[in-house]
A and B are shown apart, each in its own frame.
Chain A
Amino acid sequence: MTAAITVDARLPVRRRPVLVIAGAAFLALVVLAAAFAPLLAPYAPDAVDLSASLVGTGGDHPLGTDASGQDLLSRVLYGARTSLIAPLALLAIAALLGVTLGTVAAWRGGWVDTLVSRVTDVMYAFPGLLFVVLIIAVFGAGITTSVLGLGLAFAPTIAKYTRSVALTERAKPYVDAYRVQGMGGVRICVRHLVPNLARSIVGYLVVLFGEALMSLATLSYLGFGSQPPSSDWGLMVQEGQAAIVQGALLPALVPGTAIAAVVVAFNVVGVWAADRLGARR
Chain B
Amino acid sequence: MKLRNITAAGALALATACSGATTGASTSGTEAADLTLIPTTARATGSVAAVNWLLEDEPDSLDLDTQGGSAGRTVLGNVCERLYQLQPDMSVRPSLVRQAARPDATHLVLTLRDDVTFHDGSRMTADDVLFSLKRHAEPEMEQSDEFGNVSAMRKTGDHEITITFKQPDALFTKALAGDAGLVYNREQVEKAGEDFGTPGQSDACSGPYELSGWKSGDSITLTRADDYWGEQPLTGKVVFRWADDSAMVNALATGAADGTYADNIGTAAALRGKKGLDEHFGPSTSTLALIPTERGGLADPDIRKALSLALDRSGIAKSGYGGLVEPWATPVGSGAWGYAKDAFAAAQKQLTDAPAKPDAQDLAKAKELVKNAKKAPAEPIVIGTDSSQGRMVIANAVRAALTQIGLKGQIKTVPAAQYGEFYGDKEARADIDVLVADWYISKSDPFGFYDNGLSDSANNWVGFKSPEYDAKVAEGLRTLDDAKRAELAIDVQRRFADAAVWIPVAQMPTALVLDDKLTGPPASMAYLYYPWAAQLGAKKG
Contact = CB atoms under 8 A, between A and B. Distances in A.
B411 A50 contact: no
A223 B16 CA distance: 17
A214 B6 CA distance: 10
Contact of B392 (A68, A256, A260): A68
B174 interface: no
B411 A67 contact: no
B309 interface: no
Contacts of B220: none
Contacts of A239: 387, 389, 392
B245 A245 contact: yes
A245 B1 contact: no
Interface stretch (B20-28, B150-158, B466-474, B528-536): B20-28
A123 interface: no
A77 interface: no
Given A50-B316, A249-B24, A228 B13 contact: no
A17 interface: no
Contact of A68 (B5, B246, B397): B397
A263 B25 contact: no
Given A54-B27, A223-B414, A229-B411, A242 B6 contact: no
B29 interface: yes
Contacts, number: 165
Given A238-B387, A242-B389, A222 B415 contact: yes
Interface residues of A, number: 52
Contact of B25 (A141, A228, A250): A250
A231 interface: no
Contacts of B27: 54, 243, 246-248
A252 B20 CA distance: 13
B266 interface: yes
B396 A247 contact: no
Interface in A64-86: 64, 67-70
Interface string B3-25: 01110111011011101111111
B8 A214 contact: yes
Nearest to A266: B5
Interface string B214-258: 000000000000000000000000000000011001000000000
B169 interface: no
A207 B4 CA distance: 12
B9 A211 contact: no
Given A228-B413, A256-B13, A67 B320 contact: yes
A114 interface: no
Nearest to B412: A227
Interface in A196-248: 207-208, 210-211, 214, 222-224, 227-229, 237-248
Q: SS class of chain A's interface: helix, strand, loop or mixed?
A: helix
B315 interface: yes
Contacts of A249: 16-17, 21, 24-25
A48 B19 contact: no
Interface string B389-402: 10011011101100
Contacts of B17: 249, 253, 256
Interface centre among A55, A244, A245, A264 (most CB of B within 10 A): A245
A247 B314 CA distance: 21
A124 to B, nearest CB: 14
Contacts of A238: 387
A257 interface: yes
A265 to B, nearest CB: 10
A-B pairs with the 10 shortest C-beta distances? A50-B315, A53-B319, A242-B389, A56-B26, A256-B16, A250-B25, A260-B9, A247-B23, A263-B9, A68-B396
Interface of A: 46, 48, 50-51, 53-57, 64, 67-70, 141, 207-208, 210-211, 214, 222-224, 227-229, 237-253, 256-257, 259-260, 263-264, 267, 270-271
Interface of B: 1-2, 4-6, 8-10, 12-13, 15-17, 19-27, 29, 245-246, 249, 266-267, 269-270, 312, 314-316, 318-320, 322, 386-389, 392-393, 395-397, 399-400, 411-415
22 contacts: A48-B397, A50-B393, A50-B400, A53-B318, A53-B319, A54-B25, A210-B5, A214-B9, A227-B411, A228-B396, A239-B389, A242-B389, A246-B266, A246-B322, A247-B24, A249-B24, A250-B25, A252-B19, A256-B12, A256-B17, A259-B13, A271-B2
